[in-house]
Amino acid sequence: MPSVRSGGRAGRRMKSDINVVPYIDVMLVLLVIFMVTAPLITPGLINLPSVGQASDVPVKPLEVQISQNGDIALRMREPGANPENIGRSELVSQVRARITADTPVVIAADGKVPYESVVKVMDELRTNGVTRLGLLVDQQSSTGAAAAAAGQPQPQRSAPAAPKR
């Protein structure tokens, strides 16, 4: 006996999914068009303003020199400038009279001055409004020069070892 289906339309259902294949095709075509035309687009030219010579003259720092016996001297770090000895009590007033807001102040202390004396001078200047403050040091490029200055033998440098094979 042949089987008969009942309800003629029950076996056939409506498709409710959206077919996205045509949209993907269109997007790929647009992608190819953009890839071909992108190198052909020239960026607009921008006329940047030109700058003449720089008018900023580097600011010479004020140097506070502390000698081995504790004397303080001020000098501008310029060729031919001579240090002027001042007392500790007039340090702040003299420094503030000689600097502007952007003038750096560097402290150059003798190597035998105790570091706490240098820190006291730095603290005194900083608490009285000197913001650009630094230390001036004598940089020695090698440990051999520092050892020779201290009277110690210089370290021996050995030749680099050959790589193992």
pLDDT at 162 over 60: no
Residue 101 vs residues 24, 35, 59, 109: alpha-carbon distances, Å: 65, 56, 11, 23
In degrees and rounded to multiples of 5, residue 63 shows phi and psi of -105, 125
The amino acid that residue 148 corresponds to is A
Averaged confidence pLDDT in the chain: 78
Convert the pLDDT of each residue in 89-124 to its tens digit. Answer: 888 888 888 888 888 999 998 888 898 989 999 999
- pLDDT at residue 151, as a whole number: 53
What CATH number does domain 62-135 carry, 3.60.21.10, 3.40.250.10, 3.30.420.270, 3.40.50.1390?
A: 3.30.420.270
- pLDDT at residue 22, as a whole number: 93
Tell me the percentage of the chain whose pLDDT exceeds 90. 19
DSSP track, 94-114: HHHHH--TT--EEEEE-TTS-
Q: Which contiguous run of DSSP H or E holds residue 108?
A: strand 105-109
Which two three-digit tokens encode residue 68? 């081995």
pLDDT at 58 over 80: no
- pLDDT at residue 10, as a whole number: 60
Which two three-digit tokens encode residue 95? 């420094």
The residue extents of the domains of the chain are 62-135
pTM, rounded to two decimals:
0.51
Between 118 and 2, where is the model more confident?
118
pLDDT at 158 over 50: no
Rounded Cα–Cα distance for residues 130 and 46 (Å): 44
pLDDT at 4 over 70: no
- pLDDT at residue 140, as a whole number: 66
Q: What is the pairing mode between strands 133-135 and 105-109?
A: parallel
Determine the longest span between alpha carbons in the chain, in angstroms: 128
Segment 29-42 shows an average pLDDT of 91
CA 112 to chain CA centroid, Å, is 33
pLDDT at 55 over 90: no
- pLDDT at residue 100, as a whole number: 83
pLDDT at 165 over 80: no
- pLDDT at residue 161, as a whole number: 45
Residue of 45, 63, 165, 163 whose CA lies nearest to 108 = 63
Rounded Cα–Cα distance for residues 105 and 75 (Å): 10
- pLDDT at residue 21, as a whole number: 93
Counting Cβ atoms within 10 Å, is residue 121 exposed (0-12), middle (13-18) or buried (19+)?
buried
